[in-house]
Amino acid sequence: MMMRYFLAFCVLALLPCSVSAERARLTRSGIIIVGSGEHVRAFEPFKGAMDKGLGYAEAVNKYKQTFGSAVNVYCMIIPTAVALYCPDEAKEWTNDQRTVVRSIYAHLSDSVKVIDLFDTMQKHVGEDIYSRTDHHWAPLGAYYAAQQFAGQAGLPFADLSTYDKHVIHDYVGTMYRFSHDAAVKNAPEDFVYYTPTGVDYSTTYIRYTLGKHRQVVGEKAPEEGNFFYQYEDGNSQAYMTFMHGDLNTTRVKTSTRNGRRLLILKDSYGNAIPAYLFHSFEEIHVVDCRYFLKNIVHYVHKNDITDILFANNAGHAYAPATQKSYNRYLVQ
């Protein structure tokens, strides 16, 4: 009997340690980590403030003023993982992302079409819509975002059941490098992406060359390539499956024939969106807000663009550098 009580006492004594291991913690590098074992999730705090985000709204409005009724302009600010997965006990380490983003939306012109993803992402939060070990969302999250966008644009959209599914096992993304936390390294996940069927498409790239401090110093001649790049199990670069990353301007011609040509202005979150829209647009052009070299006005007219989608994650949307880039593209 005494042994039974002793064992019970030992179990109770261990409980606080088990519970604390489940609690959110902040690493020295500023990364929030929640959960344990195979359920570990790591994400960055959101540092944006409402006053800094207004410049983004002004830039988007300027694009609509520039192109007028000839081009539809959409604004999709993509929530980052902290907006969906941060527990109450860790909210002191991050700003309220939803409030900041919706403040940006409130300052947009009525002629700009808002793609507010917060409710959509929250509806699917129990699915694998964000990576646990990477700072990006997962391709499934991008699917739901593209679906909402196509619906608001009044365009056809292929159901996910028509796509081919691909899985890269044992994936550990950027959050291990950002956090240097063993719990993240020891919690690999599946990276799941989808390739469209029933539509033909060809991809052309203009690739950038970089100098010091990752500044663009030139670009190569256009060349054809694959939209999807294949990575082996365990490769930490799996998110570069789409267009092989950010260092290019991309044009995709599809077999869809409806006269609609989309320009996506994005950061890396936007890389996962285009492939879900091959059934929706005749052409899709993808420009990264950090590396583009040309004048956007000339680019839009030259390529007969009918729709512009701003697709930046919330961290980039409030960043002054993003706003400065978008303004510069209109005049350079």
The residue ranking higher by pLDDT, 210 or 141, is: 141
Q: Which pLDDT belongs to residue 213? A: 80
Asked if residue 272 has pLDDT above 70, the reply is: yes
Rounded mean pLDDT, 34-52: 92
Q: Indicate if the pLDDT at residue 9 is higher than 90.
A: no
- pLDDT for position 329: 95
Distance from C-alpha of 227 to C-alpha of 296, rounded to nearest angstrom: 23
Distance CA 208, CA 157 (A): 32
Asked if 168 and 190 count as a contact pair (C-beta separation under 8 A), the reply is yes
Nearest CA-CA partner of 277 in 152, 151, 148, 146: 146
What is the distance between the terminal CA atoms of the chain, rounded to a whole angstrom? 83
Hey, what are 226's tokens?
Answer: 């694959």
Separation of alpha carbons 201 and 92, rounded Å: 47
Answer yes or no: are the C-beta atoms of 313 and 288 closer than 8 Å.
no
302 in Cβ contact with 142 (< 8 Å): no
pLDDT recorded at residue 6: 37
CB 252 within 8 A of CB 278: yes
Tell me the two tokens of residue 53: 């985000």
Token representation of residue 275: 């492939």
Assess contact for 220 and 207: CB atoms under 8 A.
yes
Single out the residue of 214, 235, 230, 212 nearest to residue 288, CA to CA: 214
pLDDT bin (cut points 50, 70, 90) of residue 259 is very high
> Three-state SS for 321?
helix
Per-residue pLDDT band at 51 (split at 50, 70, 90): confident
Q: Span 110-116, mean pLDDT?
A: 98
**Tokens representing 192?**
């799941």
Work out the pLDDT band at 60, boundaries 50, 70, 90: very high
Compute the distance between CA of residue 180 and CA of residue 183 in angstroms, rounded to an integer.
9
Tell me: the pLDDT tens digits for 157-210?
999 999 999 999 999 999 999 999 999 999 999 999 999 999 999 999 999 988
pLDDT computed for residue 4 by the predictor: 40
Q: Is the pLDDT of residue 10 over 80?
A: no
The confidence score (pLDDT) of residue 22 equals 58
- Position 125 confidence tier, pLDDT thresholds 50, 70, 90: very high
Higher pLDDT, 273 or 1: 273
Asked if 318 and 52 count as a contact pair (C-beta separation under 8 A), the reply is yes
Q: What's the chain's average pLDDT? A: 92
Residue of higher predicted confidence among 8 and 247 = 247
Of residues 143 and 213, which shows the higher confidence score?
143
Other Cβ atoms closer than 10 A to 210 = 12
State the pLDDT at residue 68. Answer: 97
- pLDDT for 12 equals 34
| Per-residue buried b or exposed e for 6-25, using 16+ beta carbons within 10 Å of the residue's own CB | eeeeeeeeeeeeeeeeeebe
Q: Which of 283, 226, 235 is nearest to 260 (CA)?
A: 283
| Position 217 pLDDT exceeds 90 | no
* Cα distances (Å, whole numbers) of residue 322 to 35, 246, 311: 33, 15, 12
Strand partners, 312: 77
pLDDT value at position 97?
Answer: 96
Q: What is the pLDDT of residue 274?
A: 98
Per-residue pLDDT, 77: 98
**Average pLDDT value for residue range 285-311:** 95
Nearest to 239 by CA among 203, 205, 192: 192
Predicted confidence band at 226 (pLDDT cuts at 50, 70, 90)? very high
Residue 52 — very low, low, confident or very high, per pLDDT cuts 50/70/90? confident
Per-residue pLDDT of 15-33, as tens digits, reads: 333 333 358 999 999 999 9
